[in-house]
């Protein structure tokens, strides 16, 4: 397998690859910059099969890193630039990267990673290596080799690391292109973090199938709306919260006809939001994806008509869906099979065996299949999805339990009009004073911002079994009735 960007630069060198701050880079230009960066990384000891962390805000240079690592045959391990330093250190301990690459915005997050090597991307740009000797590896890569390792939390709170191969990503890109009728004329707006499979997948699809990426470092509804008009964006991926803000900022205006698909995932697309988007003429389609399946699994088709069209999602080509043990309403666990499914979880044989059984990925999500259309009716047990970010209660509970004012704690989600869900902590207070805002501030140094409870309830007791296990099925009802 030839590295995707290198092959794309050979096939369509002058086609636009990246639009950023008004500047347009061709595939040939992006390839040259990525190759130079690969040489710089090789000069600093990065070789094939090394696991290399990337802790950087979305930028042209971060994109070059992702391609450069494939040129070297190294494995990408993207970290969330929004994470606190403590979380970065814990995750780095799990994957043990050879080095962590960082930019100027994340330098404070890598100050305590010793003995792991850290490399400033700015230093490579300031002191590029000479053009010779040749430092790039042979152009062929094994499709079964690991391209990237992405963090995905487990219900126990311990992060799992999904291992996705080059073949996984390529199969996903080609299936997505076929499903969405993508061509070289398309421009896909990328305003999501590159540490998430949804953001990373857009970038990789660009090199594999030949469309341009319009890059924005962060989501801003006004900037997104301007880009859709000024940069002729034809596709954009958002979570429901982002779509709400885009529509609010749009007001009475309308999007141009060049915008043909707005993919909405990372949480349920509420019927009311779908109706609002449809009334505004927004070509919204629902999509269901998983890190463990290299992003898209089932997605609506552009141009579908009818009341339920935005909510209807069918499997992308090459992917099979099955409902395990459906109940009388046809609802059961969603199983996925196909070439996009991960190799397994890094150094976690137990979790890998539980997820990958008899040729199927057991998602833990609940849904039904009707005439090939998938409806997702629930998420992984206990999972909270807030603003498109996954929060597992046990992880937050583990941190809050360390606070001296907390005797016992349980975390759950409640519906929220803006964020989809918000994180709630139910706390049994220890002896002494209790200041909810102080607890939230304390959490900020130990948790990513979206994991900090927005609501704190104080309760006298939590529902537990005689063995001490939390009865999560009863948690929300018990805690909300105590308010």
Does one domain contain both 366 and 452? no
In three-state form (DSSP H/G/I as H, E/B as E, the rest C), the secondary structure along 125-149 is: HHCCCCCCCCCCCCCCCCCCCEEEE
Instruction: From 354, 377, 400, give the residue that closes a domain.
Output: 377
- 106: Cβ contacts below 8 Å, ≥ 6 apart: 55, 56, 57, 81
Does one domain contain both 373 and 401? no
Does one domain contain both 439 and 409? yes
Strands 373-378 and 235-238 turn out to be unpaired
Higher-confidence position of 407 and 52: 52
- 143: Cβ contacts below 8 Å, ≥ 6 apart: 1, 165, 166, 167, 170
- 66: Cβ contacts below 8 Å, ≥ 6 apart: 54, 76, 194, 200, 203, 204
Binned at pLDDT 50, 70 and 90, residue 7 comes out as: very high
Strands 360-370 and 356-357 turn out to be antiparallel
Please report the pLDDT score of residue 467 as a whole number: 42
Does one domain contain both 361 and 411? no
Question: For the chain, what is the mean pLDDT?
Answer: 89
Q: What is the pLDDT of residues 324-359, one digit of tens each?
A: 998 887 888 999 999 999 999 999 999 999 999 999
Tally of structural domains, the chain: 2
- pLDDT of 174 strictly over 70: yes
Does one domain contain both 328 and 288? yes
Tokens 């509804």: give the residue: 221
Report d(CA 83, CA 252) in Å as an integer: 37
Mean pLDDT lowest among 84-88, 89-93, 375-379: 375-379
Length of the chain: 483
Tokens standing for 467?
């063995």
Does one domain contain both 149 and 36? yes
Please report the pLDDT score of residue 267 as a whole number: 66
Tokens standing for 161?
């690391």
Higher-confidence position of 471 and 359: 359
Mean pLDDT lowest among 48-62, 92-106, 407-421: 407-421
> Dihedral of CA 176/74/9/20: which sign?
positive
Please report the pLDDT score of residue 130 as a whole number: 67
pLDDT (mean) for 29-52: 95
Binned at pLDDT 50, 70 and 90, residue 214 comes out as: very high
Does one domain contain both 287 and 160? yes
Does one domain contain both 323 and 462? no
Please report the pLDDT score of residue 388 as a whole number: 84
CATH number at residue 412: 3.30.300.30
Please report the pLDDT score of residue 156 as a whole number: 43
Please report the pLDDT score of residue 154 as a whole number: 44
pLDDT (mean) for 149-167: 81
Does one domain contain both 317 and 405? no
Q: What is the pLDDT of residues 193-206, one digit of tens each?
A: 999 999 999 999 99
Does one domain contain both 67 and 207? yes
Please report the pLDDT score of residue 465 as a whole number: 57
Instruction: From 377, 406, 430, give the residue that closes a domain.
Output: 377
pLDDT (mean) for 215-234: 95
Strands 344-345 and 159-165 turn out to be antiparallel
Does one domain contain both 83 and 65? yes
Q: Are the C-beta atoms of 424 and 439 separated by less than 8 Å?
A: no
CATH number at residue 70: 3.40.50.12780
> In a 3-state reduction of DSSP, which class is residue 424?
strand
- What order of strands is seen across the sheet that includes strand 146-153? 117-120, 99-102, 51-55, 75-78, 146-153, 159-165, 344-345
Please report the pLDDT score of residue 329 as a whole number: 77
**Helical spans, DSSP H, in 85-235:** 85-95, 121-126, 166-180, 197-209, 221-230
pLDDT (mean) for 162-181: 97
Report d(CA 31, CA 64) in Å as an integer: 8
pLDDT (mean) for 383-387: 85
pLDDT (mean) for 222-241: 94
CB burial of 446-482 (b: ≥16 within 10 Å; e: otherwise) equals: bbbebbbbeebbebeebbeeeeeebebeebeeebeee
Please report the pLDDT score of residue 468 as a whole number: 54
Please report the pLDDT score of residue 182 as a whole number: 96
Instruction: From 328, 359, 377, give the residue that closes a domain.
Output: 377
Does one domain contain both 323 and 401? no
% of the chain beyond a pLDDT of 70 = 92
pLDDT (mean) for 253-281: 85
Q: By residue range, what is the domain housing residue 403?
A: 384-481
- pLDDT of 89 strictly over 50: yes
Please report the pLDDT score of residue 155 as a whole number: 38
């Amino acid at each position: 397998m030839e590295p995707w960007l290198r092959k794309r630069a050979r096939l369509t060198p002058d086609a636009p690859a990246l639009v950023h701050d008004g500047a347009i880079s061709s595939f040939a230009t992006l390839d040259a910059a990525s190759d130079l960066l690969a040489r710089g990384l090789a000069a600093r000891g990065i070789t094939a099969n090394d696991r290399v962390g990337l802790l950087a805000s979305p930028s042209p240079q971060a994109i070059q890193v992702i391609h450069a690592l494939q040129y070297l045959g190294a494995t990408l391990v993207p970290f969330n630039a929004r994470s606190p330093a403590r979380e970065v250190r814990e995750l780095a301990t799990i994957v043990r990267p050879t080095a962590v690459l960082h930019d100027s915005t994340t330098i404070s997050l890598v100050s305590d990673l010793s003995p792991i090597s850290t490399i400033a991307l700015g230093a490579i740009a300031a002191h590029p290596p000479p053009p010779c000797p040749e430092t790039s590896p042979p152009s062929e890569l094994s499709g079964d080799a690991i391209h990237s390792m992405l963090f995905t939390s487990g219900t126990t709170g311990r992060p799992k690391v999904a291992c996705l191969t080059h073949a996984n990503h390529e199969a996903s890109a080609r299936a997505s292109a076929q499903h969405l009728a993508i061509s070289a004329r398309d421009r896909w707006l990328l305003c999501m973090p590159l540490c998430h499979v949804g953001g990373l997948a857009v970038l990789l699809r660009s090199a594999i199938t030949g469309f341009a990426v319009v890059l924005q470092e962060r989501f801003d509804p006004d900037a997104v709306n301007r880009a859709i008009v000024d940069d002729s964006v034809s596709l954009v991926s958002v979570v429901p919260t982002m779509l709400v803000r885009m529509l609010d900022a749009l007001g009475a205006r309308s999007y141009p006809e060049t915008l043909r698909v707005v993919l909405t995932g990372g949480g349920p697309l509420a019927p009311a939001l779908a109706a609002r988007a449809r009334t505004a003429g927004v070509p919204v389609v629902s999509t269901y994806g998983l890190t463990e399946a290299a992003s898209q699994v089932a997605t609506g088709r552009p141009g579908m008509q009818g009341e339920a069209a935005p909510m209807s999602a069918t499997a992308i080509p090459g992917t099979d869906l099955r409902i395990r043990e459906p109940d009388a309403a046809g609802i059961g666990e969603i199983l996925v099979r196909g070439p996009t499914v991960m190799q397994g979880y890094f150094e976690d044989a137990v979790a890998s065996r539980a997820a990958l059984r008899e040729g199927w990925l057991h998602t833990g999500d609940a849904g039904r299949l009707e005439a090939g259309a998938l409806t997702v009716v629930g998420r992984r047990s206990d999972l909270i999805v807030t603003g498109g970010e996954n929060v597992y209660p046990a992880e937050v509970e583990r941190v809050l339990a360390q606070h001296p004012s907390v005797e016992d704690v349980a975390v759950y989600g409640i519906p929220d009009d803006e964020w989809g869900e918000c994180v709630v902590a139910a706390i049994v207070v220890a002896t002494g004073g209790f200041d909810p805002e102080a607890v939230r501030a304390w959490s900020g140094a130990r948790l990513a911002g979206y994991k900090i409870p927005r609501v704190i309830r104080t309760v006298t007791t939590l529902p537990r079994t005689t063995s001490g296990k939390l009865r999560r099925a009863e948690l929300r009802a018990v805690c909300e009735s105590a308010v």
